[in-house]
C-alpha cells in the first residue's frame, strides 16, 4: 500500500516539476501546476496515513507531527529559493526553482526499499507473519504481543463492516469521525502585503514561513503531552486574538504613513503563524489519522486533505476581491468561524492522546469495541485463530 502510493505520488511530482521547468506556454504551466498540487496532496495523505499506522501510541504525536514540520520545511526551502532567484538576472530564472521540486521525491524513491509497510495494512491482506515481523521492527518486544492481538482482532471486525464513502456519511459513528476530520482541516490562513514592495514582501514571506517552521518543530516537544482537543482549541483562540488585533490595526491604519502601526500588523502576522504552526498544523495531522478505523482510515485522511485543499482554493480565490471591497471586515470571516471551531474542539471533539488506534473505537461506540479495549490486561499468549472477535473480547 505505502510503496504504491509513494511511487505514484512521487512520480507525479517529478514529472510535473520537469514539465513546469520546461513550460513553453501559459496554459501548459497552469495545467501542470494543478498536476503538481495533486501529486503533493497525494503524498501528504499517504505519508500521514503511513506514519499514523506505524507509530507507537506513546510517540505517535511526535512522529506524525514530523509530517507537518517537514511540510513547513519544504515551504521554507521553496520560498528562500524563490527569493534567491528573484535577483537572478535571466529570463529563465523562474524555471530553476521547479527543478528543485523533484529532488525530495527522488530521495524518497531511493529510500523506499527500507521503509516498512504498515502492519495494519498487511493484516488486512491476511499477511499476519509479515505484520508481526514489522511490529517487532517498529515497537518494543513488550508491546508487540498486545498490539498484534489488538490489530488482528480489530481487522477481523473491520472486514465485516462497510468501507465506502457513502457509509462514512450514513453510518452514525463514521459520520461523526468524518465531520470531525473535515472540520479539523476546514481552517484557513490569509494575509495581505500591507503596502510593502515586491522584494520586501518576499523577504517577509520567507522570514514568516521560517518562524512558522520553528513553531512546528517546537510543537513536537509537547504534542504528546497535551490533550489533542485542548492543544488545538486553545491554539485556535490564540490565533483569533492575533487576528482581532490585526483587524483593528488594519481598520485604523491601513493606507496610512504610520510605520509603527504597519510594523505592529506585521508582528501580529508573525505571531499568528508561530501559534498556528505550533498548536494547529502538526497536531491536526496527528488527530486526523487517529480518528478513523483501519478499513476507512485512508479515505478519512484523504477527505481531510481534500477539505484543506478546497478551503485554500476558496479563501485564496476570494481574498483579493474581498480585501478590496470590504477591507478589514474580511478578517471577521476568519475570526467568527475560528471562535466557533475552538469551542467545538474544547467541548465536543474527543481526545485520542496516547491511545492505541484500535482502542480509539471505544470513544465512538463502534461495533465490538469491548473486544479491543482492555486486551492488555488479559493473557495475550498463544493463538486465537479459532476464535471469533466476540470470543476474544469475552475471554478472560
Kindly report, residue by residue over 256-294, the tens digit of the pLDDT.
Answer: 778 888 888 888 888 988 998 898 887 888 998 899 988
Q: Which CATH architecture has domain 2-115+161-357?
A: Up-down Bundle (1.20)
When pLDDT is cut at 50, 70 and 90, the band that residue 154 belongs to is confident
Measured distance CA(202)–CA(273) in Å, rounded: 16
What are the domain boundaries of the chain? 2-115+161-357
Measured distance CA(135)–CA(326) in Å, rounded: 55
- On the question of pLDDT at 317 being above 50, the answer is yes
Which of 365, 361, 370 shows the shortest CA–CA distance to 389?
Answer: 370
- The answer to whether 109 and 10 have CB atoms below 8 angstroms apart is yes
Q: What is the reported pLDDT for 380?
A: 42
- On the question of pLDDT at 332 being above 80, the answer is yes
Which of 57, 132, 162, 59 shows the shortest CA–CA distance to 383?
Answer: 132
- On the question of pLDDT at 1 being above 70, the answer is no
- The answer to whether 227 and 353 have CB atoms below 8 angstroms apart is yes
Measured distance CA(354)–CA(130) in Å, rounded: 25
Measured distance CA(18)–CA(15) in Å, rounded: 5
Q: What is the reported pLDDT for 262?
A: 83
Amino acid at each position: 500500500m505505502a510503496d504504491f502510493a509513494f511511487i505514484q505520488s512521487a512520480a507525479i511530482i517529478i514529472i510535473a516539476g520537469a514539465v513546469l521547468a520546461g513550460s513553453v506556454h501559459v496554459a501548459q504551466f497552469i495545467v501542470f501546476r494543478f498536476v503538481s498540487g495533486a501529486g503533493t496532496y497525494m503524498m501528504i495523505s499517504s505519508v500521514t496515513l503511513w506514519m499514523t499506522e506505524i507509530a507507537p501510541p506513546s510517540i505517535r504525536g511526535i512522529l506524525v507531527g514530523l509530517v507537518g514540520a517537514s511540510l513547513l520545511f519544504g515551504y521554507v526551502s521553496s520560498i528562500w529559493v524563490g527569493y534567491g532567484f528573484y535577483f537572478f538576472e535571466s529570463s529563465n530564472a523562474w524555471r530553476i526553482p521547479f527543478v528543485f521540486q523533484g529532488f525530495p521525491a527522488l530521495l524518497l524513491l531511493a529510500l523506499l526499499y527500507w521503509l516498512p509497510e504498515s502492519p495494519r495494512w498487511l493484516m488486512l491482506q491476511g499477511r499476519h507473519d509479515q505484520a508481526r515481523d514489522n511490529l517487532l521492527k517498529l515497537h518494543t518486544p513488550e508491546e508487540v504481543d498486545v498490539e498484534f492481538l489488538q490489530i488482528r482482532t480489530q481487522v477481523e471486525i473491520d472486514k465485516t463492516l462497510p468501507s465506502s464513502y457513502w457509509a462514512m456519511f450514513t453510518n452514525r459513528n463514521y459520520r461523526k469521525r468524518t465531520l470531525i476530520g473535515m472540520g479539523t482541516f476546514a481552517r484557513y490562513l490569509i494575509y495581505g502585503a500591507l503596502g510593502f514592495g515586491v522584494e520586501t514582501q518576499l523577504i517577509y514571506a520567507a522570514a514568516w514561513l521560517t518562524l512558522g517552521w520553528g513553531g512546528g518543530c517546537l510543537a513536537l516537544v509537547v504534542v504528546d503531552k497535551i490533550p489533542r482537543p485542548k492543544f488545538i482549541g486553545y491554539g485556535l483562540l490564540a490565533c483569533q486574538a492575533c487576528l482581532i488585533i490585526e483587524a483593528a490595526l488594519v481598520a485604523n491604519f491601513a493606507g496610512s504613513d504610520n510605520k509603527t502601526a504597519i510594523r505592529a500588523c506585521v508582528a501580529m502576522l508573525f505571531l499568528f503563524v508561530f501559534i498556528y504552526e505550533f498548536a494547529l498544523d502538526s497536531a491536526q495531522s496527528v488527530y486526523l489519522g487517529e480518528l478513523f478505523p483501519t478499513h476507512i482510515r485512508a479515505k478519512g485522511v484523504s477527505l481531510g486533505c481534500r477539505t484543506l485543499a478546497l478551503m485554500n482554493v476558496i479563501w485564496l480565490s476570494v481574498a483579493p476581491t474581498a480585501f478590496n471591497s470590504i477591507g478589514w471586515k474580511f478578517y471577521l470571516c476568519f475570526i467568527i468561524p475560528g471562535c466557533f471551531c475552538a469551542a467545538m474542539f474544547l467541548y465536543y471533539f474527543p481526545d485520542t492522546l496516547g491511545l492505541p488506534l484500535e482502542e480509539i473505537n471505544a470513544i465512538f461506540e463502534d461495533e465490538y469495541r469491548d473486544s479491543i479495549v482492555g486486551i492488555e490486561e488479559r493473557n495475550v499468549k498463544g493463538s486465537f485463530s479459532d476464535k471469533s472477535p466476540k470470543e476474544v473480547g469475552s475471554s478472560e
